[in-house]
Structure 1
Amino acid sequence: MIRSLHRWPGLIGAILLCAVALSGTVLSVYPAYEAINAPSSAGMNVAELATRVQAQQPTVEQIRRAPSGKIMAYFYEGDQPTAAAIDPATGVMIGSADTPALQRWLTNLHRSLFLGDSGRMVTAAGAAAMLVLCLSGLSLLARRAGGWKRLFSPLRGQGEGRRHAAIARFSVWGLALSSITALWMTAGTFGLLPEGAGAPAFPTNVSGRTGQPPATIAVLQETPVNALRSLTFPVAGDKTDAFTLKTTGGEGYIDQGTGALIAWNDADAWQRAGDVITLLHTGQGASILGLVLGLSALGVPIMGWTGIRLWLTGRRKQASSRVPADQADTIILVGSEGGSTWGFADTLQATLTANGARVHSAPMSAFAPDQWPNARRILALAATYGEGEAPASASGFVDRLTALPEAPAAPLAILGFGDRSFPAFCGFAAEVARAAEAKGWKQFLAMDTIDRQSPQDFARWGRTLSQALGASFELNHQPKPPSTCELSLISRRDYGAEVQAPTAILRFALPAASLWQRLTRRAFPAFGAGDLLGIVPEGSTVPRFYSLASGRSDGFIEICVRKQPGGLCSTRLAMLEPGDSVHAFLRPNPGFRPVRGKSPVLLIGAGTGIGPLAGFARNNRAARPMHLFFGVRHPSSDALYAEELANWQSEGRLASVTMAYSRGPTPIYVQDVLRRDAARVARLVSEGAQIMVCGGRDMAAGVAAALTDILAGQGPNLATLKAEGRYAEDVY
């Protein structure tokens, strides 16, 4: 339901919303431009301003102050009415008061699409659609993140979905505010809101005299220019007329002969609310807010494009079966981080559909068994992220299952996807199995696992599934190779030969991209240190991932590689010479990078785990306190980045560097130097330090044990630090 509320207003109103949003973005610049260029009137009162303007322009009829601070005077030159911008310090004309032609054109487009009242109603409908999009989008963002409390946690996943969510998370607040204020202003335009107090009735008790100079009128002396809306002068020679004063606090009339205030209405709540709404929508009087709203609006065409691409992708995924959820007898739930598990789900859906099943596929984050009344079985394909965590498309699944009053009636089968070389192999799938058992959810197949996306393992599980369903089919999955980009090696530095651990720092040229490649997103995407470079070795369908030691701003792509015995990918990389090339792709890893702020960062690693940590230090131009603890075998053989580390420390990019040599004169491991510096480590953690660990899983386990001992009884433990986003691992 929420996805439909989000999808259809966006698709139907995409062009309208883009036109309104882009015109709003450009219009948001004008208040800032006016505020920057408007001469200051701070500390001046209206009496002084009126006197100066009248001295320069004796025929002045009205003085206005725009919310930006721009002062304008309206007067006659001969018999021609004229308007000019005024310097309040002198009363001298400094420019035209006319609205620029482009601004008028954009304003008409933005408000009414050049269609008058009918156009205003259309743009109001667009604002309502945008509000629906914002509210439904916020709900989907929270679901993606795993709950409202995690709405601002680092985004996971990749591709258009991640880009769409990243832009939405910034833009949705400004777009929601603009939509609400636009609807209010439209309601006011069509008389659907009270008009407020407005001006009082014109008084009948005027003195009948003229000639009171503005400089001597007490009310004008007491009114600061910054509160002025307009001052209208009485018609020359008309003894029954009066000064009309409008301010942010109200409006009224001043006797032109005595200077007395003879009628006044304070601004009521509706007028004040209308003023605030106008300020919030236009940014006039709050130029910084206007620019923020303009930037938010700039996200609309980008989100429109990514949203349409996501919709088309979703339609392609459902091409083999368009069975609605409430009509399906088989539900496939997918928990995927990088998208590869969806490929297996597509194969499973196509095979089951060919054998007569009515199949509906959905992400595990959309778990809603009450919407599947005809389901006879539920198949959960669950990958694992990090150390046993839920992947991006399964956020909140276990919490929703636990919160159900009773288990779903349709029985469950769980298939886990992971890498057996990691200790948390299929950890999330195992967690789902435990939660299902605790809820009393019947499983018609025992949990099974797929190692490294093996088509053979998947086919084996398929045979078991076909027997359980009383059918006969084979799951023949052909993994789709990722879209790659050719990277050319420009340099390499070799280490570790003396300790039988050949290691290299490989630096690749940043591939050039044409404008068309950038527009079609076929160029190598933006990246930062800590993101992952995926390389598919020859003879395999499973990519190997290497943590990046550089960001795009560095102008190159750098990784650290240790040659593994029998390793297909590491052996190939170890043989590269400058000028050789490999095909690779990028996978974002937003969960492993320093959080923003000035708090300290503890960088802990060993061996090739120095890669992303070196990248963080290299880009620490603001000299944030970063403390590196780094372990290698021997200082003369495999001390990666030794020269750079010394330079970065002298430049302030590293606050300290603590080395651990496991084969030096006094062998010591990185977890040992942490224990040795326990007091300093505990102090840095108490000051809000973030801890980032990269390297082999044995090292990471030793570091975790050391930190547990160091922090015992001294404040937050590792579980708390992880929950707060202050402890991150990149472990292999």
Structure 2
Amino acid sequence: MIRAAHRWPGLAALVLVLLLALSGAALSVFPAAERLASPQAPAGQSVAELAALVAASHPGLEQIRRAPSGRITAWWFDDGTPGSAVIDPATGADVALADPNRVERWLTGLHRSLFLGDAGRLAMAAGAAALLVLAGSGAALVARRTGGWRRWFAPLRGPFAGRLHVEIARLAMPGLVLSALTALWMTASTFGLLPDGVVEPARTTAASGLTGLPLTEMEALRQTPVTSLRDLGFPLAGDPQDVFTLHSDQGSAVIDQGTGAVLGWSRPGAWQQASGIIAMLHTGRGAAVLGLILGLMALAVPVLGATGTLIWASGRRGRVRGNDPAARAATVILVGSEGGSTWGFAATLAQTLRAAGESVHVAPMSGFDPARHARALRYLILAATYGEGGAPASARGFLDRLARLKSAPKAPFALLGFGDRSFPAYCAYSDAIEAAARAKGWAMLLPSDTVDRQSPQDFARWGAALGAALGLPLTLAHQPQPPKADALTLLQRRDHGAEVQAPTAILRFALPRAGLWARLTGQGFARFQAGDLLGILPEGSDVPRFYSLASGARDGFVEIVVRKYPGGLASGQLLALHPGEKVQAFLRRNPGFHPARDRAGLILIGAGTGIGPLAGFIRANGRRRPIHLVFGFRHPDSDFLYRDELAGWQREGRLSRLTTAVSRGARPHYVQDALRLQAAELADSIARGARIMVCGGREMARGVAEALEEILAPVGLSPALLKAEGRYAEDVY
């Protein structure tokens, strides 16, 4: 519901909202420019002093007006000839023509009414209302994506367009809400829907009929500073009954021209004061810096429109066809996916169930709401795992939504986890779902199961069990769609490890050329960094194998470290490559294993091929942040990977310290042993804010965690606490 409220007003009112934002952004520059170009009144100058100076050089003076920027403008009528000018308040002399800026006037007409009068004003008000709906629904969607309002600025994952959309929205949201609300207020004021008009003071005393009192002797003008002046109207020459009219921030007065007596006085009402503040907030007149800030935030709208359209188009491409309405579906399939592959399995499941006569609705887990599924007889949850047991992108907030339910849904559920058994947190998120569901008392339709590495066989086996539970003959024949890949050409290879029976190579591939659109949107190989994953599609298999990148796009090449495993299809093919030969590959972002952008020290711990991304972090350390690398390998003459580069990076200041742990030789020891030998120094560094990043095999990572548990206990820290603070990251295989 929230997503629809955000999508359709945005698409329907896109042109109006863009016109409002772009014209408003352009207009925000003029108050600041006017402020800089306008002579300001001397400190302490009164309206009486200003009026006397201007009147002395302008016969037939009719009005003096002060803009919120401080610009003073005078109008006069001399011998039948009208005149106007911008005034220097210090001298009363003319400094510029009072004619309005033509560009500003044109932009104002466009912004307010599209040059269409009242109909145009109403159209632009509709655009402001659409912007308000977009901002409100967008804020709710950001909170949903980040896991709650308290995590408003939490790190984001997912495609570049989606991340950029949310990042800009989080910064621009307050300004867009303020601009929309003030625009609607000003429209209501224009059409007389608010009681905020200026109430002219009624005369309580008749004019004296006298004339000629010097302006500097009029007490009301002497007591009013120029900085609070709005306008001063002069009496008609030759009419002794006419009066001065003064409007200031304090109120409005009628002043006798012969005695200086105040004949009537009124203070601005609460509505009038509120409208003045609203106008200042919306236009920036009187608050030029705020106007410029709001103008910058308005410039976010075109970017949000472009990225929002990309997200919408991407969603249409990936949506499941023939989706039955949520309120009428008997089977609800909830999908938790990070890279998109789980949606393909959901589509196959939905298509097969529909062929069996079932009504099916497919939706992301993040939008889970049993109230929307009044006729649901069962929920089928297909959930991938992100990182170390986290929720994938389309399942963020699911566990919180489940926990907030007063009672479990009446319809039972079946759970299928997707993962890779080579990773320690295999299907850990689906395990968390099952535990939460059992705690809530949610009945299970059949025991939970898993799919390893997108296995069609695992999926078909679960489908047969599901069919038996439903009394339907289900045959799930799913063919995973291989991701779009590029051909990478091997430039060079450096071989290691033959002496210790562990053939390993550092493979460097040419960076594929990226088109203009890819560079603008960050797709493909246009934007990546060390720690991201390179998916290799080996010949004879549709299931990719992933390797951590040891380079970033700025390095101008794609580099990975590969060890040959017995029977390993991808590693065998990679280590058989010669320079000039190609391999099919694609990128997958891995933001959970990127160094933070601050200057806090890094402690990098790795063994064997785990040096790959760590070497990439050091290579990219142009800011010379403190980095301590602890690297374990078997023998310095066989598999000391990046030996020469590490020495060079130390000389350049990119690497502060290198500690090695050699597991074979006269004094064999491992990285966890090296950590214990430096326990005091490491504990002190971590207590002062250093971050830890670990890459390598799961046994090594487990040993590192145990060692750090001992090392950090005296300073009141632990790996678990550091993980909760975002200061401990692992890439384990």
Which TM-score applies when normalising by structure 2?
Answer: 0.86
* TM alignment of 1:575-654, pairs within 5 A: 581-595=582-596, 597=598, 599-617=600-618, 625-633=625-633
| Larger displacement relative to structure 2 (409-418 or 518-527) | 518-527
Query: Secondary structure of the equivalent of 2:134?
Result: helix
Q: Which residue of 1 aligns with 2:504?
A: 502
Structure 2 distance, partners of 1:234, 1:536, is: 88
- Give the structure 1 partner of residue 372 of structure 2: 371
Per the TM alignment, residue 397 of structure 1 is displaced from its structure 2 partner at its CA by 1.8
CA distance in 1, matches of 2:659, 2:150: 38
Which has the higher mean CA deviation after the structures are superposed, 219-228 or 181-190? 219-228
CA distance in 2 between partners of 1:323 and 1:361 (Å): 8
In 1, Cα distance between equivalents of 2:92 and 2:499: 83
1:109 alignment partner in structure 2: 110
Per the alignment, residue 452 of structure 1 pairs with 453
Q: Helix, strand or coil: the match of 1:382?
A: strand
Whole-Å separation in 2 of the counterparts to 1:201 and 1:8 = 51
Q: CA deviation at 1:401?
A: 2.3
Aligned identity (percent) is: 55
Q: Kindly tell me: are residues 348 and 227 of structure 1, through their superposed partners in 2, closer, same or farther at Cα, counting changes over 3 Å? A: same
CA contact (8 A) 1:68 1:284 kept: yes
Aligned to 1:692: 693
Which has the higher mean CA deviation after the structures are superposed, 227-236 or 392-401? 227-236
Instruction: Report the AA paired with residue 383 of structure 2.
Output: A
Aligned to 2:429: 428
Contact preservation (8 Å) 1:617, 1:626: no
Partner of 1:27: 27
| Contact map agreement 1:145 1:392 (CA 8 A) in 2 | no
Which amino acid is the alignment partner of residue 6 of structure 2? H
Equivalent residue runs for 1:712-727 within 5 Å: 712=713, 714-727=715-728
Residues 521 and 630 (structure 1 numbering): CA distance in 2 closer, same or farther, change over 3 Å? closer
Is the Cα contact below 8 Å between 1:561 and 1:574 reproduced in 2? no
The answer (yes or no) to whether the contact 1:489–1:509 under 8 Å persists in 2 is no
TM-score with structure 1 setting the length: 0.87
The 10-residue stretch of structure 1 (401-410 or 643-652) with the greater mean CA deviation from structure 2 = 643-652
**Do the aligned partners of residues 517 and 592 (structure 1) sit closer, same or farther apart at CA in structure 2, a change above 3 Å counting?**
closer
Deviations 1:454-513 (A, max 9, x none): 122212222222233322232121222223345555666666566545231626436242
Is contact 2:251–2:266 with CA below 8 Å preserved after alignment?
Answer: yes
What code does the residue aligned with 1:694 have? C
Aligned to 1:128, what secondary structure does the other structure show?
Answer: helix
Q: How big is each residue's C-alpha offset from its partner over 1:261-314, in whole Å with a ceiling of 9 and x where there is no partner?
A: 765544443333223322332333444433443343334344444444544555
Amino acid corresponding to residue 506 of structure 1 in structure 2:
R
Q: Contact 2:538–2:584 (CA<8 Å) still a contact in 1?
A: no
CA separation in 2, counterparts of 1:252 and 1:59? 21
Instruction: Tell me the residue number matched to 2:45.
Output: 45
Q: 1:345: which partner in 2?
A: 346
CA RMSD of aligned residues (A): 3.7
Deviation of 1:414 after TM superposition, in Å, equals: 0.9
SS in 1 for 2:107: helix
Separation in 1, partners of 2:246, 2:446: 81
User: Residue 587 of structure 2 aligns to a residue in which SS?
Assistant: strand
The secondary structure found in structure 2 opposite 1:661 is: strand
Q: Shift of residue 4 of structure 1?
A: 3.0
> How many Å separate the matches in 1 of 2:645 and 2:91?
60
Please give the secondary structure, in 1, of the residue aligned with 2:539. Answer: coil
3-state SS of 2:715 partner: coil
Residue by residue over 1:324-352, the C-alpha shift from the partner in whole angstroms, topping out at 9 and shown as x without a partner, is 11211111111111111011101111111
Contact 1:509–1:555, Cα closer than 8 Å, also in 2: no
Change beyond 3 A, Cα 1:530–1:165: same
- 1:281-320 residue pairs with structure 2 within 5 A? 281-314=282-315, 320=321
Q: Distance in 1 between matches of 2:206 and 2:666?
A: 103
Pair 1:149-2:153 in alignment = no
Q: 2:466·2:474 contact (CA, 8 Å) conserved in 1?
A: no
Q: Is the 8 A contact 2:86 2:94 kept in 1?
A: yes
CA spacing shift, 1:97–1:403, aligned 2, 3 Å: same
Counting only pairs closer than 5 Å after superposition, residues 487-566 of structure 1 correspond to structure 2 as 487=488, 500-504=502-506, 506=508, 508-509=510-511, 511-514=513-516, 524-552=525-553, 554=554, 556-565=556-565, 566=567
Displacement after TM superposition at 1:316 (Å):
5.5
Note the alpha carbon deviations across 1:384-415, whole angstroms, 9 max, x for none: 01111111211222232233333222222111
Q: How far apart, in 1, do the equivalents of 2:97 and 2:649 lie? A: 55
Deviation at 1:519, TM superposition (A): 7.0
Aligned length: 727
- Which blocks of at least 5 consecutive residues in structure 2 are unaligned? none
In 2, the alpha carbon distance for the partners of 1:255 and 1:489 equals 93
Instruction: Please give the secondary structure, in 2, of the residue aligned with 1:348.
Output: helix
* Deviating more after overlay: 433-442 vs 341-350: 433-442
More off after superposition, 577-586 vs 406-415: 577-586
Name the CA distance, whole Å, in 1 between partners of 2:528 and 2:42.
Answer: 47
Cα separation, 2, equivalents of 1:486 and 1:217:
86
**Quick one: distance in 1 between partners of 2:436 and 2:628?**
39
Q: 1:317 to 1:88 in 2, by over 3 A?
A: same
For 1:652-663, what aligned pairs fall within 5 Å after superposition? 656-663=656-663
* Structure-2 change in CA distance of 1:421 and 1:521 (3 Å): closer
Letter matched to residue 134 of structure 1: A
SS in 1 for 2:593: coil
TM superposition shift of 1:579: 5.5
Report if aligned partners of 1:610, 1:640 keep a CA contact under 8 Å in 2. Answer: yes
Aligned equivalents of 2:695, 2:256: Cα separation in 1: 79
The one-letter code sitting in structure 2 at the alignment partner of 1:427 is A
Q: Distance in 1 between matches of 2:133 and 2:36?
A: 35
Task: Please tell me whether residue 279 in structure 1 is matched to residue 286 in structure 2.
Answer: no
Compute the displacement of 1:437 (Å): 2.4
Asked if 1 retains the 8 angstrom alpha-carbon contact of 2:510 and 2:557, the reply is yes
- Which ranges in structure 1 are unaligned for 5 or more consecutive residues? none
Deviates more, 1:359-368 or 1:86-95: 86-95
Deviations 1:111-134 (A, max 9, x none): 222222222222222222222222
Letter in 1 for 2:515: A
Structure 1: distance between partners of 2:354 and 2:465: 17
Query: Measured at CA, do residues 470 and 154 of structure 1 come closer, stay the same or move farther in structure 2, by a change above 3 Å?
Result: same
Corresponding residue of 1:405: 406
Deviations 1:164-210, CA, capped at 9 Å, x for gaps: 43443333332222222222222222222221665533675667343
| 1:55-70 correspondence to structure 2 within 5 Å | 61-70=62-71
Contact 1:167 1:303 in 2 (8 A): yes
1:622-676: per-residue Cα shift (whole Å, max 9, x none)?
55x433333142566655556665666666655x324223247755544344444
Q: Distance in 2 between matches of 1:570 and 1:87?
A: 80
What secondary structure, in the 3-state scheme, does the structure 2 residue paired with 1:660 have? strand
> Using the alignment, how far apart are the partners of 2:384 and 2:280 within structure 1?
48
**Which runs of structure 2 are paired with 1:59-458 in the superposition (5 Å)?**
61-74=62-75, 81-85=82-86, 95-158=96-159, 160-195=161-196, 198-201=199-202, 204=205, 208-210=210-212, 212=214, 226-232=227-233, 240=241, 244-252=245-253, 264-314=265-315, 320-458=321-459
8 Å CA contact 2:65, 2:72 repeated in 1: yes
Kept in 1, the 8 Å contact 2:563–2:609? The answer is no
Deviates more, 1:136-145 or 1:293-302: 293-302
